[in-house]
């Protein structure tokens, strides 16, 4: 019996450390990024990691890397029965599913997204481990300021985001409650209302994108459900950078779809590790493991 495979596309957690795998799509997108003033290939070849991890550069680099790897998997006959993306990864997932038919147009929006999000400062994010969602929500609700749950990455792996002063208070409270707290190296308070201005500025770029009915089931990390209506998907994408990432619900929806194997189609293993903590009903593998024959 043939296994049902899902492609999972990562967000900004890991940037590529080497040029995308060979493929026409990757070459074309790298050239477009270069024309837009983002010399990703040069940064990779020169080992300019500090520059590459900046939000404005990291987002298009991850998007291009993911779609290049997606092309490599398909060329080997590995095709998905469903797709999902974590935050930024939704853009690659929507290209993979056929909802956004033009990867070039999607890249243009990703470039805009990275630049707008990269300009937001004055806040931060922290991962909270070993505490359940309800407890983290209770702590955030009790802080007199802008602190929100930004990512639900696992049953006891929650990311909070907000203004730095209030974020520190929430971090201290989580630690006092027995949680393990890890401050994240990001430029702003992503996935909170503090990015509302950036979201409004990005909206015209998303509105210009063509959206079609999905060829492959797409699970939204904003709703945590399978979405098929192009208008609904566009609406969810419009709210994405201020909305909480519902990753646990996303993986649970893939379980309901009968997915057997989920491949992380990107440069790292962040989603692979997350998935293994969420469920044992899906086998999670990295891109390298998939290429090496794990699928």
* pLDDT over 90 percentage in the chain: 84
- Annotated catalytic residue 87: yes
Of these residues, 191, 220, 221, 249, which one is catalytic?
Answer: 191
CATH 3.40.366.10 domain position(s) in the chain = 5-119+193-294
The architecture CATH gives domain 123-183: 2-Layer Sandwich (3.30)
Question: Any idea of the CA torsion for 261, 266, 272, 273, to the nearest 10 degrees?
Answer: 180
Q: If you ran DSSP here, which 8-state letter would residue 290 be given?
A: I
Of these residues, 66, 68, 87, 249, which one is catalytic?
Answer: 87
* pLDDT tier for residue 139 given thresholds of 50, 70 and 90: very high
The SS3 of residue 109 is helix
Encode pLDDT of 99-128 as tens digits.
999 999 999 999 999 999 999 888 899 999
Residue 136 to residues 128, 221, 280: CA-CA distances in angstroms?
A: 8, 20, 25
Q: Answer for the pair 63, 107: CB distance below 8 angstroms, yes or no.
A: yes
Burial, 137: exposed, middle or buried (Cβ in 10 Å; 0-12, 13-18, 19+)?
middle
Torsions phi, psi for 212 (to 5 deg): -120, 170
What's the average model confidence in pLDDT over 133-142?
95
Q: E strands along the chain, which residues?
A: 5-9, 82-85, 123-129, 147-154, 157-163, 180-183, 218-219, 226-227, 245-246, 261-264, 283-286
* Through-space distance between the first and last CA atoms of the chain, rounded to whole angstroms: 13
What's the average model confidence in pLDDT over 64-78?
94
Global pTM value: 0.96
Q: Residues 5-119+193-294: name the CATH superfamily.
A: Malonyl-Coenzyme A Acyl Carrier Protein, domain 2 (3.40.366.10)
CATH 3.30.70.250 domain position(s) in the chain = 123-183
Residue 255 to residues 34, 126, 136, 185: CA-CA distances in angstroms?
A: 39, 28, 26, 32
Q: Record the tokens describing residue 104, joined without a space.
A: 């070039």
Instruction: Compute the distance between CA of residue 183 and CA of residue 57 in angstroms, rounded to an integer.
Output: 21
- Annotated catalytic residue 191: yes
């Amino acid at each position: 019996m043939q296994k049902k495979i899902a492609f999972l596309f990562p967000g900004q957690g890991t940037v590529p450390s080497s040029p995308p795998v060979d493929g026409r799509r990757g070459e074309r997108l790298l050239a477009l990024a270069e024309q837009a003033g983002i010399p990703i290939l040069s940064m990779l070849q020169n080992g300019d990691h500090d520059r590459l991890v900046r939000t404005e550069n990291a987002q298009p680099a991850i998007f291009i890397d993911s779609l290049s790897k997606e092309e490599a998997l398909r060329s080997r006959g590995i095709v998905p029965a469903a797709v999902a993306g974590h935050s930024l990864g939704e853009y690659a997932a929507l290209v993979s599913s056929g909802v956004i038919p033009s990867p070039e147009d999607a890249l243009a929006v990703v470039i805009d997204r990275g630049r707008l999000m990269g300009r937001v400062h004055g806040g931060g994010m922290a991962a909270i481990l070993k505490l359940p969602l309800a407890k983290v929500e209770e702590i955030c609700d009790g802080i007199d300021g802008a602190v929100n749950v930004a990512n639900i990455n696992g049953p006891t792996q929650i990311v909070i985001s907000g203004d730095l002063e209030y974020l520190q208070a929430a971090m201290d409270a989580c630690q006092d409650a027995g949680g393990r707290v890890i401050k994240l190296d990001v430029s702003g308070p992503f996935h909170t209302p503090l990015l509302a201005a950036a979201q409004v500025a990005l909206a015209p770029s998303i509105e210009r994108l063509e959206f079609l009915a999905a060829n492959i089931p797409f699970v939204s990390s904003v709703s945590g459900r399978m979405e098929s209506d192009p208008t609904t998907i566009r609406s969810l994408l419009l709210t994405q950078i201020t909305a909480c990432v519902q990753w646990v619900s996303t993986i649970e929806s893939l379980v309901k779809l009968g997915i057997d194997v989920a491949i992380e189609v990107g440069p790292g293993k962040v989603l692979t590790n997350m998935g293994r903590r969420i469920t044992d009903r899906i086998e999670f593998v990295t891109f390298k493991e998939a290429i090496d024959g794990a699928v």
